[in-house]
Amino acid sequence: MNYRHSFHAGNSADVVKHSLLIALVRALQIKEGALTLIDTHAGCGLYDLHGDAAQRTGEAAQGVLRAFADANPLLDDYRAAVRAVNVGAEPLLYPGSPQILAQLLRQQDLLILNEKHHEDVHALRSAMRGTSAAVHERDAYELWLAMVPPRTPRGVVVVDPPYEQTDERERITATLAAAHRKWAHGVTVIWYPLKDRATHGRWKDQLRKRGIPKFLGVEHWLYDADQPGLYNGAGLFIVNPPYAFTQALPPLLEALRAALAPEGHRGEITTEWLTG
C-alpha cells in the first residue's frame, strides 16, 4: 500500500492522528522537563488542499472539512492547529505532523525531522523555515535508532511511513524492539492504515510477542463492516502513553468518531492495551 502524505492530506486519518498527537504532547508538557520530538517520516510539512495531489483524492472533504463543520469543543485544539497555517475561515493549507509539532514546542523542547525523499526534504525545509527544527535526509529506521535515547530527559518518536515497501511492518516491529531496548521509558507513536481486520490482527499478534509493556492500540474503523479493497480507517500504536493522556482519551475519541462517521455508518474508534 502506498500512502504518500500529499495525496491524503487532511483526510480522516490525519484528523485522528493529529488530534491525538496534540493531546499526547500536551499531556507530557504538564511536567516542565524538556522534550525531544522526533518525526521519522516527516513528509513535506505543509500541503495545499487545492493542489493536484490532494484534489485527485478529495479526501479532505471527509476529514478536516468535517472537523471544521463540527461544533464539539473537544476538537478546538485540532482546529486551532490547522487555522495557524491558514488565513480566513476555510482551510486551504494543511499542516503535516512537523508543523503541528513545531506549534507545540516550548522554549526548552527540541524538534528533529527526517524525510528520505529528496524532493520532499526540499519542501520540508521550506515549510519549516523560521522554526527551530533540525531536518535530516536519512533512512527513517536508521535515524530512529540513532536518535534514541535523546539528550533531553524525555521524548516522543512519531513513526508515520507511507507503507510503500512490503516489509514496512516488519521493519517497524524490529526497529521498535531495538529502540525499546535502548530507551525503555520513551514514548513512541506509530501510525498505520487499516485495510482489513485479519491482516491487522496478525501484525498485532507479532507486536504482542515482543513483550513491550504499556503498549496501547487505537483503531479508527470508518465503516460498520470492512469494505473490500478500500481504505477502511487508520490507527495508532502508542508505547508508554502518559496517564493524563489516557484518562482524557475516551471523550476525545467519541468526538472524533461522531465528526468523521461517513454517511450511513456509525463508525468505531476502539482502544486496546496490547500489553501492560
Active-site amino acid positions: 160
Q: Which of 166, 256, 264 is nearest to 218 (CA)?
A: 256
Cβ distance 192 to 230 under 8 Å?
A: no
What is the Cα–Cα distance from 199 to 235, expressed in whole angstroms? 14
Question: Which one-letter DSSP state was computed for residue 262?
Answer: P
Asked if 165 and 150 count as a contact pair (C-beta separation under 8 A), the reply is no
For residue 138, count CB atoms less than 10 angstroms from its CB and return exposed for 0-12, middle for 13-18, buried for 19 or more.
middle
In whole angstroms, give the CA distance from residue 216 to residue 237. 6
Question: Are β-strands 215-221 and 46-48 bridged in parallel, bridged antiparallel, or unpaired?
Answer: unpaired
With residue 207 as reference, give the H or E element that holds it. helix 197-208
Identify the H or E element spanning 127: helix 118-127
CA–CA distance, 156 with 25 (Å, rounded to integer): 8
Contact 115, 42 (CB under 8 A): yes
Other beta carbons less than 10 A from residue 107's beta carbon: 6
How far from chain centre, in Å, is Cα 122?
21
Q: Give the dihedral of Cα atoms 151, 153, 158, 159; nearest 10 deg.
A: 60
C-alpha cell at 214: 504499556
